[in-house]
Structure 1
Amino acid sequence: MMFDKSRSAGALVSDIARLHAAEQQRALAPLGLSRAQFVVLCELWLADGMTQRELANGLGLEQATMANTLARMQRDGLVTRKPHPDDGRSQQIWLTEWARDLRDPASRAALEADGLLAAALPSAERELFLSMLSRVTANLRSGKTG
């Protein structure tokens, strides 16, 4: 049997992710944000003051990747670091006022990119598509194969 990428869930999801990433980057660029910064901001908009470890674990990223992203975000004026009150080895990551002000426009930009993702689907199919993606993601995160 020959591999057919047009019938491979993995290949199709990979294509979707690549195309969506490019569209999301295009939508966020006028705000001066990268996709990586946006995902970190999304976490901090929900729970400002997280540690680097909490952010890395929550986003499923390596510590080094998170450290580099946070360094760029600090350089760009999006976050500040302050010593953790209960753990002298940790620092909490806090949003700047500018980053808090970006929440609505960045969310609109991301929603614009998401809208293109399933624009060809009728509403009911879009909901089914999102439900299926959520279940597949949860399954993969749990490590279940069947």
Structure 2
Amino acid sequence: MTAGAGEPLHRHSSLGYQVNHLGRLLAQALRARTAPHGVVPGQFAQLLALYEQDGLTQNQLCERVRIDQSTMAHTLQRMQRDGLVERAADPADRRRVLITLTGRARELESDLVRAAGEVNAVVTRGLTEEEVTGFMLTLSRLIENLEADSAGGVQS
């Protein structure tokens, strides 16, 4: 149960604290498995989005991975420096720049997907498929609630 207004908030009963803690632990586990390939967790979401659909604009990537433009610009600079992505003018509209995966990034895809699968297997160890599915549904709803709140709307 979470604390209500006026009640003390404790780390172990705080949804935000627990989810943040889980996120940090997931990032550490992912980093341990992807660092040998020259990829850090901050680049992982962008790579997954580009594995799903290569040739996106920076703005499209921001929308898909839900990070702001300045963070994305910095991350893409590092990814370009690390040989993971390239920037090229959109042939359909030369004013737009498309972000595309390099051959190196494509070669890493199976290793990175395997690394993520290993982390997912560790974090869900001892849970049933139904428990994992229920947790994922709950997470999706929590994300929807916060996205609606940040957009100024409230879903019920």
Question: Comparing both chains, which one has the higher relative contact order based on Cα–Cα distances under 8 Å and sequence gaps of 6 or more?
Answer: 1
> 2:140: which partner in 1?
134
Could you tell me which amino acid in structure 2 is paired with residue 107 of structure 1?
Answer: V
How much is the aligned-residue C-alpha RMSD, in angstroms? 1.6
1:80 is aligned, of 82, 86, 93, to: 86
| TM-score, scaled to structure 1 | 0.90
Greater strand fraction, Structure 1 or Structure 2: 2
**1:35-114 counterparts in 2 under 5 A?**
35-114=41-120
Could you tell me which amino acid in structure 2 is paired with residue 74 of structure 1?
Answer: Q
Confirm or deny: 8 A CA contact 2:38 2:82 kept in the other structure: no
What CA distance in whole angstroms lies between the structure 2 residues aligned with 1:7 and 1:81? 45
Structure 2, gaps ≥5 residues long? 1-6
What CA distance in whole angstroms lies between the structure 2 residues aligned with 1:39 and 1:74? 15
What CA distance in whole angstroms lies between the structure 2 residues aligned with 1:87 and 1:21? 37
1:117 is aligned, of 118, 123, 128, to: 123
* Number of matched pairs: 146
Post-superposition CA distance 1:48-86 (Å, at most 9, x none): 110111111221111111111111111111111111223
What CA distance in whole angstroms lies between the structure 2 residues aligned with 1:125 and 1:60? 26
Q: Percent identity?
A: 37
Q: Which 4+ stretches in 1 moved above 4 angstroms? A: none
